[in-house]
Amino acid sequence: MEALVTGVAQMGPIQKIDSRAAVVRRMLALLAEAKARGCRFVVFPELALTTFFPRWVYEPGEPALDAWFEDAMPGPETRPLFDAAAAAGIGFYLGYAEKAGNRRFNTAILVDGTGRIVGKYRKVHLPGHAEPDPSRLGEHLEKRYFHVGDLGFPVFETMGAKIGMCICNDRRWPETYRVMGLQGVELIALGYNTPTGLGEPYQAAAQANMHNELSLRAGAYQNATWVAAAAKCGVEGGYPMIGQSMIVSPLGEVVAMAATLEDELITARCDMKLAAYARTEIFNFARHRRPEAYALITDRVGAGEPVVPSRAQMGLDDA
């Protein structure tokens, strides 16, 4: 298929007291607008059904924490979203907190235009901390509440395109996009909840939107793929989160960007042919990549000692 008209359904704040039913009603309104605007695929945010609960301190396993996770997907509150999307022939990406037996994941699913779940992704890069620290201005406890994703970065052929997924902090790591790029991904869907003011210096907070755009545009351009990124944003429980949802072309251009910190739909006609030249020339991985030079990327976790060739290898005269 040549083009997939894609919507990004940015969502404004969800407060602790907001029910899933109320949130799904907001999502249904965004879906109706997406239908009216000719979308066949819609991206919702990370943890789209609830407030961003990793900002609060819980004991792992306590009932108040488990209440933020979904017992089933779809469940009674989310079934209306699946039904409305299927009736409209619209596929979607949905981020939510997943219970998988005794394991807990920050998860996203890919649902096709018939309402069938065709793919799942579990967040690999968990930012923040496992232990609370009252000296911080705010907490970001994803390492406390979620297991590291165990599904890799899969790419699914559905809705006439090769669609991959990631979640929030994943978008800051080039490896995320490249692993999917090496599977021929054509569109990467992702959701994010990005707080500011958790103690980083003012300058870093002022750069939050620039870092968001930089990460998304670089990932798209360097892998010749569309990127559709949906924020959950605005002030939740007194903590601000950035908006700036956007759709980026395989050439790195921002073709649509949200203008508010509320529920807002942005759309673009994602032509999969747009990447053709980039893939056959500039980022023709098969022709240009040299994995033998990249060993450190998988050999090391953290930065280590410099790796220096011998003077002889470098052809220096005093070898």
The rounded distance, in Å, linking the Cα atoms of 307 and 24 is 52
The rounded distance, in Å, linking the Cα atoms of 44 and 47 is 9
Least Cα distance to 111 among 138, 144, 74 occurs for: 74
Q: Of the listed pieces 9-17, 86-94, 151-159, 165-173, which binds ligand ING according to CB under 6 A?
A: 165-173
Between the alpha carbon of residue 126 and those of residues 141, 168, 258, the distances in Å are 9, 9, 25
Q: Is 169 in the site for ligand ING (CB under 6 A)?
A: yes
Of 39, 120, 142, 168, the catalytic one is: 168
Shortest Å, Cβ 2 to ligand ING: 32
Shortest Å, Cβ 258 to ligand ING: 15
Residues paired with residue 6 on neighbouring β-strands, in sequence order: 41, 268
Least Cα distance to 68 among 87, 79, 57, 53 occurs for: 53
Q: In the numeric block, which tokens belong to residue 11?
A: 């969502």
For residues 125 to 154, the per-residue mask of contacts with ligand ING, x marking binding by CB under 6 A and - elsewhere, is --x------------x--------------
Shortest Å, Cβ 266 to ligand ING: 19
Query: Can 166 be counted among the known catalytic residues?
Result: no
The rounded distance, in Å, linking the Cα atoms of 203 and 74 is 41
In the chain, beta strands by DSSP E:
3-10, 41-43, 91-100, 103-111, 117-122, 155-158, 161-167, 187-192, 226-231, 234-236, 239-241, 246-248, 254-257, 264-271
Of 35, 120, 123, 232, the catalytic one is: 123
Amino acid residing at 59: E
Query: Can 232 be counted among the known catalytic residues?
Result: no
The rounded distance, in Å, linking the Cα atoms of 53 and 18 is 12
Going by the DSSP 8-state scheme, the letter that residue 260 receives in this structure is S
Q: Is 193 in the site for ligand ING (CB under 6 A)?
A: yes
Shortest Å, Cβ 261 to ligand ING: 15
Shortest Å, Cβ 133 to ligand ING: 16
Residue 175, H or E segment: helix 174-181
Q: Of the listed pieces 25-33, 80-88, 190-198, 296-304, which binds ligand ING according to CB under 6 A?
A: 190-198
Q: Is 237 in the site for ligand ING (CB under 6 A)?
A: no
Among 40, 55, 172, 217, binds ligand ING (CB under 6 A): 172
Query: Can 233 be counted among the known catalytic residues?
Result: no
Residue whose CB is less far from ligand ING, 172 or 279: 172
Q: Is 168 in the site for ligand ING (CB under 6 A)?
A: yes
Cβ-based neighbours of 58, under 8 Å, separated by 6 or more: 64, 65, 144, 145
Residue whose CB is less far from ligand ING, 41 or 192: 192
Shortest Å, Cβ 314 to ligand ING: 38
Residue whose CB is less far from ligand ING, 180 or 190: 190
Number of residues that bind ligand ING (CB under 6 A): 9
Residue whose CB is less far from ligand ING, 20 or 143: 143
Active-site residue numbers? 46, 123, 168
Binding site for ligand ING (CB under 6 A): 127, 140, 168-169, 172, 192-195
